[in-house]
Amino acid sequence: MHIEPNDALLVVDVQNDFLPGGSLAVAQGRRILAPINRLMPRFPFVAATRDWHPPEHRFFSRHGGPWPDHCLQGTRGAEFDAELEREHVDAIVSKGVDPQTDGYSGFAGTGLEDDLRGRGIRRVFVCGLATDYCVKATALDAKRHGFETFVIGDAIAAVNLEAGDEERALGELRAAGIPVIESDELLVSSPSPR
């Protein structure tokens, strides 16, 4: 599968709090860094989302929600992982800013859809964290908005709050017409980096 001029890579929430040592760590999170760093320079457009919560966020457990405090605006936990090669990120999309809504999707309350349309993007490839929340929500929204959408299976990892969440999320994606591909399918057959 070739990477084409109207393709975008969406890198979801590769932030310290979602990686080992962070407040909402995804156990296998670091395995996604190498494939993401290989993919980014090959894509004509790369957007990185970041979870960017205010302290009063309703989804924090101290306000009755399911999550420990994470990705608080301006904190170290909200910074991108140091290994993520930032020079290949063209746009940063802050999400989860509204304290009343979960903010899982990179399209919720952001300018991402308009930005992609303005650039003539037709296909969207989603990678990052976490498979069962923000990757899933972002990919489902991309598809709903009419983009041909793929998820990159070796460049995502799940929280797995409940056993089986990862498999269920992948099943939902496939049922929505979103294929789960491997990074090598894109890397091996696509022409030179930009």
- Active-site residues, by number, are 13, 95, 134
| Smaller CB separation from ligand VGL, 7 or 13 | 13
Q: Which 91-130 positions form the footprint of Zn ion (CB under 5 A)? A: 96
Q: Which 12-71 positions form the footprint of ligand VGL (CB under 6 A)? A: 13, 18, 51, 67
Q: Tokens in use for 103?
A: 């903010």
Which member of 17, 51, 141, 166 binds Zn ion (CB under 5 A)? Answer: 51
Which member of 19, 46, 130, 139 binds ligand VGL (CB under 6 A)? Answer: 130
Question: Which of 12, 9, 8, 32 minimizes the C-alpha distance to 20?
Answer: 32
Which one of ligand VGL, Zn ion, none is in contact with 8 (Cβ closer than 5 to 8 A by kind)?
none
Q: Which element (helix H / strand E) includes 153?
A: strand 148-157
Compute the distance between CA of residue 138 and CA of residue 131 in angstroms, rounded to an integer: 10
| Smaller CB separation from ligand VGL, 3 or 130 | 130
For residue 170, the one-letter residue type is L
User: In terms of residues, how long is the chain?
Assistant: 194
Minimum Å gap between C-beta 181 and ligand VGL is: 20
Minimum Å gap between C-beta 11 and Zn ion is: 16
Minimum Å gap between C-beta 187 and Zn ion is: 30
Q: How far is CA 122 from CA 40, 71, 83, 114, in A?
A: 17, 30, 29, 12
Q: How far is CA 147 from CA 41, 70, 178, 192, in A?
A: 21, 30, 10, 24
Binding residues for ligand VGL (CB under 6 A): 13, 18, 51, 67, 104, 129-130, 133-134
